[in-house]
Amino acid sequence: MSGVPAELRAALLDTARAMNASGLNQGSAGNLSVRLADGFLITPSGMDYADCTPDDMVPVAMDGTPRGARRPSSEWRFHRDVYRARPEVRAVLHAHPPWCTTLACLRRDIPPFHYMVAVAGGDSIRCADYARFGTQALSDHVLTALRGRRACLMANHGLLCVGGGLDEVLHLAREVEQLARWYGQALAIGEPALLDEGQMAEVLAAFADYGQPTR
């Protein structure tokens, strides 16, 4: 594999630390990666991000071969498989945020109870079926749940987000965690009213032209 710029290693670690500082994650839980020309750069296995240096970030080839002194996250398979299946994806974030993980342990999708569910690319945020962490089965379930989506929950596990870069996936993870919180709070009172298919289609169309034009 080609050399990895020091700036990219530092950016990956900074984003992992921001993920923890924002309450999306804790300690060495979760993992984060960014695409390389010939593979991806991923956080190391079992190391608290507060104790890591940029040199601890692990380059991994698309065949799963790591390079360097550290072992990659045990979840490297679903990172690799997302990059293979989704050429537009430049970064992948997995975390254990409190509300997303609560819903994941209930094996609940997030339905269209709020229009912002569309931020993840569809009219719901699916919960992937359960499989043990680090397995190919889990990766397969994640890819199914991510069809047409930018985020999914993982049964009895946590959250996964994909996007065009590190800042984007971190922002998306915060958005989905807020949605999970609102949904969980609504369920504590009753069953929330859901937007219908036509209403969500209108939201998705509006989101396609939302924000500032690309320069």
Residues assigned a catalytic role: 75
Distance CA 89, CA 138 (A): 19
- The span from the CA of 163 to the CA of 15, in Å, is 14
* DSSP code per residue over 74-115: TTHHHHHHHHHH-TT--EEEEE--HHHHHHHHTT--B-SSSG
Give the C-alpha separation, 209 to 215, whole Å.
Answer: 14
CB of 159 closer than 8 Å to CB of 172: no
Give the C-alpha distances (Å, rounded to integers) separating 99 from 48, 110, 155, 164, 170: 22, 11, 13, 24, 16
Report which secondary-structure segment, H or E, holds 178: helix 166-189
Burial 53-86 (b: 16+ CB within 10 A, else e): ebebbbbbeeeeebeeebebbebbbbbbbbbeeb
The C-alpha atoms of residue 194 and residue 48 are separated, in whole angstroms, by 40
